[in-house]
A and B are shown apart, each in its own frame.
Chain A
Amino acid sequence: MKRPDEDIRKELEELSPHLLKLKEQGDGFRLPKDYFQRMQKEVLDKVQAGSQPSPSKNIGWLDRLLEPLQFLFQPRWALGLATIALLVTLGAVWLYQSQPVAGSELSAELAKLDPESLDAYIQANFHEFDTETLLEFASNQEDQPNFEDLTPEELDQYLNETIQEMDAETLKELL
């Protein structure tokens, strides 16, 4: 039975005589025989089996900032992130290439094609183009008349001829 330190004894006398009495009986915990010697040996075995202590280092602000992200540099995370980055890049390239080329770039591309192929393509993909693009393309067609110079009668005739040349399906879509 251990006699409590005078300071804590006085404090407990005021606060809780019951706890003071209990304290004098000890806490009931015991230790295995030679525990600390054996524990020391076990700890030393563990540290000898493991790595040496890490050297002291001055941690900079960048190191502190990156410290929570260190796990990303582990091989499995790094491999996973590299795969995701590659897929995202490939996806972005594919999306970019599959986008219709707009505006003046389209005109430049279209200018390289022969008029028959171009016409066939536009007929087949009519809905894919916006009005401005179609108008720009139309203004580049060499065999089209200049509508501003046509009289109303000539314009009527041109439109009738054009309608007659169209197949029924295209005409239906336009109307």
Chain B
Amino acid sequence: MPQAKTSDDEILGLMRNPKTLERGFRLLMETHQERLYWQVRRLLNDHDDANDVLQNALVKVFRNIGQFEGKSGLYTWLYRIVTNEAITFLNQRKRRSSTSIDDANINLANRLQADSFFDGDEAQIRLKQALETLPDRQKEVFNLRYYEEMGYEEMSKLLNTSVGALKASFHHAVKKVEQFFAA
């Protein structure tokens, strides 16, 4: 997992000055874009969708950087904006589509097999299908723990949820995924 090489203070200091605003924003993207991208990509699966959502969210970040009060870490603030944008996108997609879960899983498998930016095998496609059956929040916890390997303490600050609740959520998600494979 890439670590932030630049401090929040340095980025925010640059972005508060109109002369160094663009440099600060570029630094913000360089520091956090990769983690943010993968979080969105794992929620949406499709690269083009993830790219659209991430770009829109970053434009919002730039326009609203003045609203950042520093009560949380910069990454936490960015993460919430980006994840919120991704979940809004997912909900819009769900509203537009009236397909059943079975059809949605077939569609997902077809999309992944045709995706030039996915080279996973059958088991990995099944895992993606299993994750689609989880509620958004549980899927988010699963992704952070399983793929990002984030510790529960850090996740607790990021999601503003207790460590116990996050552990329970992850364990429950793992059980559901296993049941999906067993079915």
Contacts and interface: CB of A to CB of B under 8 A. Distances in A.
A16 B154 CA distance: 23
Contact of A47 (B18, B63, B69, B124): B63
Interface residues of A, number: 38
Interface residues of B, number: 49
B34 A27 contact: no
B55 A46 contact: yes
B63 A7 contact: no
Interface in A1-50: 4-5, 7-8, 11-12, 15-16, 18-19, 22-23, 25-32, 35-36, 39-40, 42-44, 46-48, 50
A148 B123 CA distance: 109
A51 B25 contact: no
Contacts of A44: 22, 25-26
Nearest to B42: A27
Contacts of B25: 44, 47
A39 B69 CA distance: 27
Interface stretch (B81-89, B157-165, B173-181): B173-181
A57 B117 contact: no
B21 A53 contact: yes
Contacts of B15: 53
B66 A22 contact: no
A30 B29 contact: no
Given A16-B178, A39-B51, A54 B67 contact: yes
A42 B29 CA distance: 12
Interface of chain B: mostly helix, strand, loop or mixed: helix
B174 A28 contact: no
Interface stretch (B91-99, B100-108, B133-141, B145-153): B145-153
Interface in B4-53: 15, 18, 21-22, 25-26, 29-30, 33-34, 37-38, 41-42, 47, 51
B65 interface: yes
A56 interface: yes
A55 interface: yes
B124 A22 contact: yes
Contact of B120 (A5, A19, A28): A28
Contacts of B146: 8, 12, 19, 23
18 contacts: A4-B149, A11-B145, A27-B124, A28-B118, A28-B119, A28-B124, A29-B38, A29-B47, A29-B117, A29-B120, A39-B55, A46-B55, A46-B59, A47-B63, A52-B21, A53-B15, A53-B62, A57-B66
Interface of A: 4-5, 7-8, 11-12, 15-16, 18-19, 22-23, 25-32, 35-36, 39-40, 42-44, 46-48, 50-57
